[in-house]
Amino acid sequence: MTHAVIRRLLIANRGEIARRIMRSAHRMGIATVAVYSDADAQSLHVQEAGSAVALGGQLSADSYLRIDKLLAAARASGADALHPGYGFLSENADFAQAVLDAGLIWVGPPPAAIRALGNKASAKQLAQQHKVPCLPGYQGADSCDAILNAEAKLLGYPLMVKATAGGGGRGMRLVTEAAGLQAALDSARSEALSSFGSAELLLERALLSPRHVEVQVFADAHGHCIHLGERDCSVQRRHQKLIEESPSPAVNAELRERMGACAVALAQAAGYVGAGTVEFLLDEQGEFFLMEMNTRLQVEHPVTEMVIGLDLVEWQLRIAQGETLPLQQDEVSFRGHAIELRLCAEDSDFSPHAGQVRHFHAPVHARFDHALYAGLEVTPFYDSMLGKLIVHGDNRDQALAHMRAALADTQVLGLPTNRAFLAACLEHPVFRAGQALIPFLAEHGDTLRQTLADQQWQVMVRAALGAYFSGTAGAAQVLPCPFAKSLRMLRGEQLLAITVTETGSAGLEVLVGAQRYTAACVRTPGGELRVTLDGLSSTVQACQVADGRWHVQVDGTEVWLRDMSLEPVAAAASASPTMELRAPFNGKVIAVKVAAGAQVMRGDTLLVIESMKLEHAVCASRDAVVADVAVESGQQTATGQVLLRFEA
């Protein structure tokens, strides 16, 4: 077989994965070409590529999902190969074929393999032919409501409704009883059509408390195929992974060999070439069942790289050039334990948020795959993931210790992130014991959120003083100081009143109600702000966001404060929620479920908003009567915009 040579690689993706692919390509001496939408014009992947081509538009449908624009960019830039990354068109067989037809090297599996495995229904049919365990279900060509309702009766509950195309947890709904089936079909079909361009669905018997364990496979064009161990991805929200680790705490050598053999058999049956991931559900008795095969590089591939000590993107590029796999199965060895966390622009309730990154500091002693910088505008047009934090240790306990330190050293201020929530997950005894199953967040999420909410008054005092000193004590970024000597900071509905008396130099006497503290503030040689309260010293980072709101991080704990110091006392005291429902994040209204005059009950769905590639139901927090609907279907909304008004 004649080897091709990749000289100029176009990366048909954005953000952290585009940068990740570039690193390997540049190390191999391959020139790179970036593509970008209007929303990504200032992105790091654009700045770091050898050249860049504008696609136009802001939405992915107008840019990263346009085959014609991507091929035109390849022609214009002189690229001879194309890497799709993950998401977008990475599992689109028509795109792969179009790339090959254009005379380019496709860094991915053959179009026929994508068709055979990228569709969940056909993949399960192929798996069953090759003795790969599958859960009972319906994968027929006709997925109309009548057929699915009839098949659901035969299958029984609980069951999963799944989109046959795509991945990433989109178009998936758990149904525990017949009464919820139709709503699940409608919602899954809408999300699948929006995400993948296909409304086809399948049904599958649901396991209520399994693990999500996936096996990394690699194949070359010479008939060789191996597996590179497993990853445990059981900590999920909305069927999307938040924490991944390798090896799985539940998999021993014998089980790894059986799962790996099934994964390799499925890949070879489809004529697979390149990197792929076979995803399984593992029950509490140690039996595993195929979920799907993702015909692309996975978001969580770095944990596999850490435990095998090899660059999987380099493997992809070399195999695309016609080279053979660098290892045989018996030469693959695993070292230590690796963990990856997905840092997302979302709050502890998993609601996504757009906004500007006002302050950013990457951890020093950990791998952080990202595309962040201070001043970056995080838009609502793409996924909420900001980056991936990856650590490695000799064992799981050591890896957890490294991750705790890395999270504490990660600073992203200006918009909500799940950094503190992830830190709380790591400390939960179920996760620490390696016992987290897929329902982990559903069962323990409220407890974790309460842990974050139960912040001591002293933390809030430190946060307020940190914000104060950010404007008065030579902060790295000089911010205006709105504070008088008497500070009033609002956290949620809690009002913190502080009287500050300067005692000379950076010394302070702080009065909070009847409690009196001594305080001091110093700027370290490294530029860190240290606030000391009654002898306890804390590192504080603070940035003013807008409208008197401050985002503060105190020794890893995040606090959002609203400065009420210059507001009338009555305004501060009455700063409670009004009878208006406001948008919790930027997005597009795709359905309005109520009209003026409607009586709604707590928990009723009022609107559905699409943001960061996901649909979110906005529900009533209490019984009420709708007085006015301020938005309509198809309308873009900004965070804080009024959606509905209720009668008082």
pLDDT in tens, 388-407: 999 999 999 999 999 999 99
Residue 473, pLDDT score:
42
CB 309 within 8 A of CB 288: no
pLDDT given for residue 483 in this prediction:
45
Reduced 3-state DSSP string for 419-478: HHHHHHHHHCHHHHCCCCCCCHHHHHHHHHHHHHHCCCHHHHHHHHHHHHHHHHCCCCCC
Contact 303, 246 (CB under 8 A): yes
Predicted local confidence at residue 576, as pLDDT = 42
Q: What are the phi and psi torsion angles at 630 (to 5°)?
A: -95, -5
- Of the listed ranges 4-8, 291-295, 492-496, 529-533, the least confidently predicted one is 492-496
Across the range 562-584, mean pLDDT stands at 64
Q: What's the CA gap between 325 and 343, in Å, rounded?
A: 32
DSSP SS3 for 147: helix
Smallest Cα–Cα separation from 19: which of 313, 295, 239, 236?
313
Q: Quick one: how far is CA 388 from the chain centroid? A: 9
Instruction: Note the Cα 324 to chain centre separation in Å.
Output: 33
Amino acid at the residue 514: A
Mean pLDDT of the region 460-481: 62
Per the listing, tokens 């940068």 go with 19
Cis amide leading into 247 (omega within 30): yes
Q: Rounded to the nearest 10 degrees, what angle do helices 120-129 and 253-269 cross at?
A: 110
Beta bridge partners of 52: 34
- 49-69 burial by CB neighbour count: b if 16+ within 10 A, else e? bebbbbbebeebeebbbbbeb
Burial grade of 277 (CB within 10 A; 0-12, 13-18, 19 or more): buried
Q: How many residues does the chain have?
A: 648
Residue 153 CB-density burial (10 A; 0-12 exposed, 13-18 middle, 19+ buried):
exposed
Cβ atoms of 533 and 517 within 8 Å: the answer is yes
What is the separation of C-alpha 200 from the centre of its chain, rounded to a whole number of angstroms?
25
Instruction: Quickly state the pLDDT bin for 164 (edges 50, 70, 90).
Output: confident
pLDDT at residue number 476: 37
Tokens of 515: 């409690």
pLDDT band at 443 (very low <50, low <70, confident <90, very high): very high
* CA separation for the pair 334, 405 (Å, rounded): 24
- Provide φ and ψ at 181, rounded to 5°: -65, -50
**477: confidence class by pLDDT, cuts 50, 70, 90:** very low
Domains with residue ranges and CATH for the chain: 8-107 (3.40.50.20), 136-205 (3.30.1490.20), 211-445 (3.30.470.20), 457-573 (3.30.700.30), 580-646 (2.40.50.100)
The C-alpha atoms of residue 139 and residue 202 are separated, in whole angstroms, by 5
413: how many CB neighbours lie within 10 A of its CB?
A: 21
- Listed range (18-32, 214-228, 234-248, 621-635) with the worst mean pLDDT: 621-635
399-404 long-range CB contacts below 8 Å, 24 or more apart? 399/245, 399/336, 399/337, 399/338, 399/339, 400/339, 400/426, 400/432, 402/365, 402/366, 403/339, 403/341, 403/366
- The distance from CA 548 to its chain's CA centroid, rounded to whole angstroms, is 29
Burial status of residue 303 (CB atoms within 10 A of its CB: 0-12, 13-18, 19 or more): buried
pLDDT given for residue 171 in this prediction: 86
Peptide bond preceding 158: is omega within 30 degrees of 0, i.e. cis? yes
> Token pair of 396, please?
């799981």
DSSP output for 248-260: -TT--HHHHHHHH
> Given this model, what pLDDT does residue 376 score?
96
Q: How far apart are CA 362 and CA 60, in angstroms?
A: 28
What are the structure tokens assigned to 609, written together? 């908003």
- Cα distance between the two ends of the chain: 76
How far apart, in whole angstroms, are the C-alpha atoms of residue 22 and residue 9?
Answer: 9
Q: Taking the model in full, what pTM does it have?
A: 0.87
Q: Quick check: 447 pLDDT over 60?
A: yes
Contact status, residue 616 vs residue 591, Cβ threshold 8 Å: no
Predicted confidence at residue 485, as pLDDT, reads 60
Higher-confidence position of 343 and 505: 343
- Give strand pairing partners of 582: 642
What tens digit of pLDDT does each residue of 76-110 get? 999 999 999 999 999 999 999 999 999 999 999 99
Please give the DSSP secondary-structure letter assigned to residue 547: T
Q: If pLDDT is split at 50, 70 and 90, which confidence band does 386 have? A: very high
Decide which of 484 and 561 is more confident. Answer: 561
If pLDDT is split at 50, 70 and 90, which confidence band does 120 have? Answer: confident
* Chain-centroid distance, C-alpha 399: 21
> Mean pLDDT for the chain?
90
pLDDT at 507: 72
The pLDDT value given to residue 28: 98
**Among the listed residues 549, 611, 554, the one whose alpha carbon sits nearest the alpha carbon of residue 414:** 549
DSSP 465-531: HHHHHHHHS--SS-------SEEEEEETTEEEEEEEEEEETTEEEEEETTEEEEEEEEE-TTS-EEE
Percent of the chain with pLDDT over 90: 64
User: Would you state the structure tokens that stand for residue 9, as one six-digit string?
Assistant: 């690689």
pLDDT tens per residue, range 585-630: 778 898 999 999 999 988 888 998 888 777 778 888 888 899 999 9
Amino acid code (one letter) for 205: R
Query: Is pLDDT of 468 > 80?
Result: no
Average pLDDT over residues 417-436: 96
Q: Which structure tokens are listed for 215?
A: 């096996």
Evaluate if residue 455 carries a pLDDT over 80: no
For residue 417, pLDDT over 70 is answered with yes
Residue 225 pairs with which residues in a beta bridge? Answer: 219
Beta partners for 215? Answer: 230, 278
Cβ atoms 625, 643 nearer than 8 A? no
